[in-house]
Amino acid sequence: MGGWLFPQFIYREVNIATLDIGMLVYYHDNLHILWGKLEDGYNFEWTFFEIYKLHHAVVREMKNRGINHLAPINDLDKVHYFSDADLKKVLAYSVEKKMNGFPVSAHKKGKEVKIFSEQKKELTTMFPTLIEAIIKLSNSDFIIDGELISYEKEKALGRKYLMEYTEVIKPGVMPDDKNIKFHIWDIVYYNKSIDDLELRKRLEFLKKLKFNERIQEIERKTISNKEDLTKAIDWASSLENSEGTVVKDLNASYSSGEGKSWKIYRKLTPMVVSVLKRIPQKEKAYNYLVGAKADKKFLDSMYVQDERLVLGHTFNTEQVFEVGDNIRILIEDVKRHEKKGGVHYSIYKPRIDKKTDESLFTVDDLEAVVNSMLDKK
């Protein structure tokens, strides 16, 4: 993910009023570049909020000096010449609990309700008692988005249980859906189409519904600054049955998937791995081939290197480590693969944290992570 040099004269702490015209334009253009790099997933220390804030100050100073400059076009232009009140509105987010459920939409018209999967497959007949609960939400017609969660008492069982449930239902047999709840995160129709409205306005329509034990609004907080955003992400991730956080732009129209207007932050699992190889990327970036302790006989020898079990490559980073260093990484998932040659493991979305003196992960440690992940799915 290299191919560019971080701007040499861009600083987060700078007195914008002291910059000459050339440097104002330099800041303006390069802040657009930084914004685009963050959207592309490039890993550096700046945040979207910091770029927004500094860009706002630069644009305001350019306006005060009568400087007209054609900007590169991307989402950062949303804050052009906004007042401080407008900027606060732009920096507004819905921070929601992320659950591991089965995403569906429910369409109610009169007393009729239909439920559809993400793939537009109709699932209505599979959820007879849930349909009754949806009808009670409102006398109005509506379309709501959310996810179905199967429960064992108060414990959420994960997506795989819903998938198994939908696969075993037989024609002519009344499905037993009493342990399934519908957690709602959005509404796109309320007697008329409202999907073009900002999320903040759609949530006002969502509040009109009379939620019940079976149909519940997802837990969320609305925030408008960096400090509260960090706290809210931690809060949503710490909730019972949460697997992370979804952060959505309150000023965005409806979007059915992760993109520019909303992002998913999953809970990350720490691992201690060994650097097996450093791979240079463009412009002072590296990724690393990493491994765990190869301490079991059932491992696939194709994935064993110098008594280390190869797990895969990390994301790019500017941090420099040597072969043999133990480093702490944060991963979203670990997969176990069993073939004729034996067993090996792979890591999913490994972010580098830091060098560490902690003990290297063993195969037993990997198995423990795999099993904990399976419990959530």
Residues 6+ apart with CB under 8 A from 235: 95, 221
Query: What is the rounded distance in angstroms from the CA atom of residue 190 to the CA atom of residue 95?
Result: 23
Q: 323 in helix, strand or coil?
A: coil
Q: Where are the domains of the chain?
A: 16-91, 96-260, 269-376
Query: What is the rounded distance in angstroms from the CA atom of residue 262 to the CA atom of residue 248?
Result: 4
Is 74:33 a contact under the CB 8 Å cutoff? no
List 370's β-bridge partners, or say none. none
**Same fold flag, 96-260 and 269-376:** no
State the fold for domain 96-260.
D-amino Acid Aminotransferase; Chain A, domain 1 (3.30.470)
Please tell me the pTM assigned to this model. Answer: 0.62
β pairing state of 244-249 and 269-280 = unpaired
Is 116:123 a contact under the CB 8 Å cutoff? yes
Q: 151 in helix, strand or coil?
A: strand
In the block, tokens 């195969």 appear at: 363
State how far Cα 377 lies from the chain centre.
Answer: 17
Query: What is the rounded distance in angstroms from the CA atom of residue 245 to the CA atom of residue 224?
Result: 16
Instruction: Please report how many Cα atoms fall inside a 13 Å half-sphere around the Cα of residue 330, on the Cβ side.
Output: 8
Q: Give me the residues of the chain with pLDDT under 70, please.
A: 1-5, 39-43, 69-91, 226, 257-260, 373-377
Mean pLDDT, all residues of the chain:
85
Please report the pLDDT score of residue 369 as a whole number.
86
In the block, tokens 């519904």 appear at: 209
Please report the pLDDT score of residue 71 as a whole number.
56
Q: Considering all CA atoms of the chain, what is the largest pairwise distance in Å, rounded to the nearest integer?
A: 77
In the block, tokens 């955003």 appear at: 229
Q: What is the CATH number of domain 269-376?
A: 2.40.50
Residues 6+ apart with CB under 8 A from 74: 32, 35, 36, 39
Helix, strand and coil content of the chain, in percent to the nearest 5, comes to 30, 30, 40
Q: What is the dihedral of CA 202, 205, 206, 212, to 10 degrees?
A: 180
- 26 exposure class (CB count in 10 Å sphere: 0-12, 13-18, 19+): middle
Which uninterrupted H or E stretch holds 318? none
Please report the pLDDT score of residue 78 as a whole number.
47
Q: 178 in helix, strand or coil?
A: coil
Query: What is the rounded distance in angstroms from the CA atom of residue 268 to the CA atom of residue 101?
Result: 18
Is 97:242 a contact under the CB 8 Å cutoff? yes
Query: What is the rounded distance in angstroms from the CA atom of residue 249 to the CA atom of residue 224?
Result: 10
Please report the pLDDT score of residue 258 as a whole number.
65
Nearest to 100 by CA among 148, 67, 39, 52: 148
Nearest to 209 by CA among 146, 136, 267: 136
**Angle CA 79–81–85, to nearest 5:** 70
- Structure confidence by residue, pLDDT tens digits, 217-226: 999 999 877 6
